Amino acid sequence: MSEKVLFDTQHLYYLPQYLPVAALLKAREVTCEFVLYREEALDSVKEKAVSDAGFEYVYLEDKSSGFDFYRHSSAQWIIFGNVPPFSAQQKYRIPARLALMQHGIGPKACYYDVSEFPFDVRFVEGQERLKRLSQRFPDKKFIDTGFAKLDPVFNNQQSNINLTDLGLDPGKPTVLYAPTFFPSSIEHFGADWPASLGDYNLIVKPHFFSLTKSKYTAHRERFDKWAQFDNVWVTGVADYNLLPFMQLADVMLSDASSAIFEFAALNKPVVWCDFYQTRWSYKGLLKFRLKQRLDPDIELFHKLTKRTSAAKYIAPAVAGCLNNPESKQKARQELVKNMVGKTDGQCGARIAAYLTEHI
């Protein structure tokens, strides 16, 4: 039987984590196939992304089809970026082994909660996260491999875009704003906010959900207004990979996103937008829900970043970071070691080795 690994791709933005590992498995003559889920408006984007990377794909109509498909699959491993589309009880009727490569390394409680599912192994990032997961789930298998998504940067693979391509000025410093979708800082920035950063290029990299879900129409309206400024480039759905924009940027702005840990791993300064728009169901007597959604790991942002408490403080914070990029460098390096793990460009290689050795 030929060796085969399936990558369960519930969302397009899982691909940057999967592709470095899939490429290494392919080099070991392992067949890799991506399992996609139908989303009519996004199907062509997903197909192109997987095909351009040199891999085959198969479509499932929806998540409810996952169990039957995997139950009859001949794969030895199935890789997930989040909770599988079937129950823990159903897992034991699937012949393949299941592995988790969490799609993000952010400060949300789901980073840890997802390990309640009985994966055969989870690949994790750093000794601190390994320790916390092992304490909470002592009977589970965790392997500290590092975050494969960042391998291309540490292997000096150049970005496939440049500032000129985006209509921006290569002579200006570049600011990357990469907010999450909820809880987000987006609503706190006015329609004319880019004017306050007129001395810089501003790349806005929204979360995938901000661009695709109907409940975030207000986000898209705000992005459209920002895009009218000459110093702004707003990415689209097809720009699913944050890495090329991280490589272009000198400083990043973000809120409750794993992008903060990722950018800090590049030893670049981060401005933390510690102000959020929350739904009524997360306010007042219900604000405990927000604390439940955000893991205490978010407190590490205080050490890692330049914190701001309102939009009006962003411009001076950016200027301070650009004038003194070495500030907090020691803290960045220490926290990256614990929360991101190894940054030697070999994270995907460790994962691929484990998978092939345990087929």
pLDDT digits (tens, 9 = 90+) for 210-229: 999 999 999 999 999 999 99
d(CA 183, CA 185): 7
pLDDT band at 108 (very low <50, low <70, confident <90, very high): low
pLDDT at 295: 46
First to last CA, the chain: 11
Question: What one-character-per-residue DSSP string does 269-314 give?
Answer: -EEEE---B--GGGSGGGTHHHHHHB-GGGGGHHHHSEEESSGGGH
DSSP state of 2: -
Question: What is the average per-residue pLDDT within 297-316?
Answer: 86
What is the enclosing helix (H) or strand (E) of 110?
helix 110-113
State yes or no: pLDDT of 175 exceeds 50: yes
Percentage of the chain with pLDDT > 90?
Answer: 75
Residues 296, 293: Cα–Cα separation, whole Å: 10
DSSP lists the bridge partners of residue 272 as 254, 307
Instruction: Check if the beta carbon of residue 177 is closer than 8 Å to that of residue 205.
Output: yes
Of 48-52, 97-101, 256-260, which range is least confident? 256-260
Tokens matching residue 328: 């907090």
Q: How confident is the model at residue 275 (pLDDT cuts 50, 70, 90)?
A: confident
pLDDT bracket for residue 187 (50, 70, 90): very high
Q: For helices 15-27 and 347-357, what crossing angle results, to 10°?
A: 60
Rounded Cα distance between 248 and 169, Å, is 12
**Bridge partners for 60 per DSSP:** 37
Question: What is the number of alpha carbons within 13 Å of residue 300 lying toward its C-beta?
Answer: 24
pLDDT per position as a tens digit, 1-55: 589 999 999 999 899 999 999 999 999 999 999 999 998 888 999 999 999 999 9
pLDDT at position 343: 94
Give the confidence band of 103 by pLDDT, cuts at 50, 70, 90: confident
**Three-state secondary-structure class, residue 262:** helix
Task: Quickly list H helices, the chain.
Answer: 15-27, 43-52, 66-71, 88-91, 110-113, 127-136, 151-154, 208-212, 217-226, 243-248, 259-265, 288-293, 301-304, 314-323, 329-339, 347-357
Look at 35-39, 95-99, 278-282 and tell me which has the smallest mean pLDDT. 278-282
Mean pLDDT, all residues of the chain: 90
At residue 281 the predicted structure's pLDDT band, cuts being 50, 70 and 90, is very low
Q: Where are the domains of the chain?
A: 4-147+342-357, 174-339
Rounded CA separation 78/44 (Å): 23
Residue type, 141: K
More confident residue, 147 or 299: 147
Q: What confidence tier does 278 reach under pLDDT thresholds 50, 70, 90?
A: low
Query: Which one has a higher pLDDT value, 281 or 184?
Result: 184
Q: Does 203 have pLDDT greater than 70?
A: yes
Q: How confident is the model at residue 277 (pLDDT cuts 50, 70, 90)?
A: low
Reported confidence tier of residue 194, pLDDT bands at 50, 70, 90: very high
**pLDDT, tens digit, 9 for 90 and up, residues 121-146:** 999 998 888 999 999 999 999 999 99
User: Cα–Cα distance between 282 and 287 in angstroms, integer?
Assistant: 5
Q: Is residue 8 within a helix (H) or strand (E), and if so which, with residue range? A: strand 4-9
Token pair belonging to 279? 């739904």
CATH number for the domain formed by residue range(s) 174-339: 3.40.50.2000
pTM (2 decimals)?
0.89
Q: Is the pLDDT of residue 252 over 80?
A: yes
Q: What's the pLDDT tens digit per position in 29-44?
A: 999 999 999 988 889 9
The answer to whether 329 touches 267, Cβ cutoff 8 Å, is yes
On the question of a common fold for 4-147+342-357 and 174-339, the answer reads: yes
Peptide bond into 152 cis (omega under 30): no
CATH level 2 (architecture), domain 4-147+342-357: 3-Layer(aba) Sandwich (3.40)
